[in-house]
Structure 1
Amino acid sequence: MIGRLTGQLSEKNPPQVLVDVNGVGYEVDVPMSTFYNLPSLGERVTLLTHFVVREDAQVLFGFLTGAERATFRQLIKITGVGPRMALSLLSGLSVSELAQAVSLQESGRLVKVPGIGKKTAERLLLELKGKLGPDLALPAHVATDAQADILQALVALGYSDREAALALKSLPADATVSEGIKLALKSLAR
């Protein structure tokens, strides 16, 4: 019904913003990933939206990117995952981090998000598998299963996705998992 809003950003109260569109103020709930990238108050903003109508409320959810909105829509299709839980997931993990967690079947990353328990995380992994797009799942340079395993191991050791991806770039393409992890750890230690 309402697919996009363009107007002046009037208020920012996480997780809600107020967008003034020609004198009409729209209250929009946004994930924190969108909230942190919003312009300053009084500036022009465009949000892609998803309108949810329930018996007791009408809520507008907003996103800066099409990937966020598409992921949100995919999440709310899952039984037991409502708009608030989907917003919480997108606030705790970026779209690419969520896609990576699904492709690597890492329920531990999902459980870290408030409101997501072990059973819900496992259901999310099962139902999202293959639905978030392979282009979002892993960095483009992850070409082999060994590289994916090395990346997963580095993240499990506490390195950020960015650090792990940078370390992976410096490895030879034919590195085995154990050899790759050792070399990556050496490069990260510098």
Structure 2
Amino acid sequence: MIAHLRGRLLLKTPGRVIVEAGGVGYEVTISIPTFTALPAEGAEVALHIYTQVREDLLALFGFLALDEKRLFERLITVSGVGPKLAVTILSGLSPERTVAAIRGQDHATLTRIPGVGKKLAERLVVELKDKLEDMAAAPAPAPAGPAAEDVLSALVNLGYQRPAAQKAIETAIAKKPAAGESFDELFRMALQVIR
């Protein structure tokens, strides 16, 4: 089994990289947080790897952070969660927020992730809430004003990735704290940051 891969980053796109190691290019599926933390193409990169082997498939899933890989491995133990959906979950929420949502039985946060419905959110909570004690859960971020959740929802509906949208909102509020009170103002400022 391939558990770790170090080599030159030949190609990176959201969701996929190709890493050359020993003259072989390995295609690896990645999450959005891993993608945003990757160095530039041509640089050396080291990824923690989960290898999926089926009779018709050999697929690699890569993570820069070991904690993200460990959470991925827990997620795929849940009935109905395969590796691709686990990557989608990790792309929709940071590992800390995912752990916090599962341990806090926060179905609403989990169902905001594409592909996670009410039943799957309940299953994630039931099957994992007692298996994540060794993973630190960050406290849920305090709302940054009444408009922040609405602006986040609007940006995600426009096609922006949730982590990028959250960061844009946080940046906008850091620049002007009063913006968190007004949907229009916060939305405009967040759009300027995210572009």
TM-score range, shorter chain: 0.7 to 0.9
- 2:101 counterpart residue number: 101
- 2:51 counterpart residue number: 51
Counterpart-to-counterpart distance in 2, 1:55 and 1:78:
21
- 1:90 counterpart residue number: 90
- 2:74 counterpart residue number: 74
- Residue identity opposite 1:34 in structure 2: T
CA shift, 1:102, in A, is: 1.2
CA shift, 1:156, in A, is: 10
- Residue identity opposite 1:113 in structure 2: I
For the residue of structure 1 that corresponds to 2:136, the secondary structure is helix
Q: 1:107 to 1:155 in 2, by over 3 A?
A: farther
* Contact map agreement 1:99 1:133 (CA 8 A) in 2: no
Counterpart-to-counterpart distance in 2, 1:31 and 1:46:
15
Counterpart-to-counterpart distance in 2, 1:122 and 1:156:
28
CA shift, 1:134, in A, is: 5.5
Give the count of matched residue pairs: 156
Q: Gaps spanning 5+ residues in structure 2: where?
A: 150-165, 171-179, 182-195
Q: 1:153 to 1:66 in 2, by over 3 A?
A: closer
Structure-1-length-normalised TM-score: 0.74
- 1:13 counterpart residue number: 13
Higher radius of gyration, 1 or 2: 1
- Kindly report structure 1 stretches of 4+ aligned residues shifted beyond 6 Å: none
Q: Deviations over 1:128-152 (max 9, x none)?
A: 102223652134xxxxxxxxxxx68
For the residue of structure 2 that corresponds to 1:6, the secondary structure is strand
Map 1:131-170 onto structure 2 (within 5 A): 131-133=131-133, 136-139=136-139, 154=143, 158=148
- 1:64 counterpart residue number: 64
Q: Deviations over 1:145-183 (max 9, x none)?
A: xxxxxx68748964669x7xxxxxxxxxxxxxxxxxxxx
Q: 1:135 to 1:83 in 2, by over 3 A?
A: closer
Q: Deviations over 1:80-103 (max 9, x none)?
A: 110011010000011100011012
- Residue identity opposite 1:108 in structure 2: A
Q: Which sits farther off after the overlay, 130-139 or 42-51?
A: 130-139
- Residue identity opposite 2:83 in structure 1: P
* Contact map agreement 1:95 1:136 (CA 8 A) in 2: no
Q: 1:156 to 1:55 in 2, by over 3 A?
A: farther
* Contact map agreement 2:47 2:63 (CA 8 A) in 1: yes
Structure-2-length-normalised TM-score: 0.72
Q: Gaps spanning 5+ residues in structure 1: where?
A: 140-150, 164-187
For the residue of structure 2 that corresponds to 1:136, the secondary structure is coil
Does 1:26 pair with 2:26?
yes
Q: CA RMSD in A?
A: 2.6
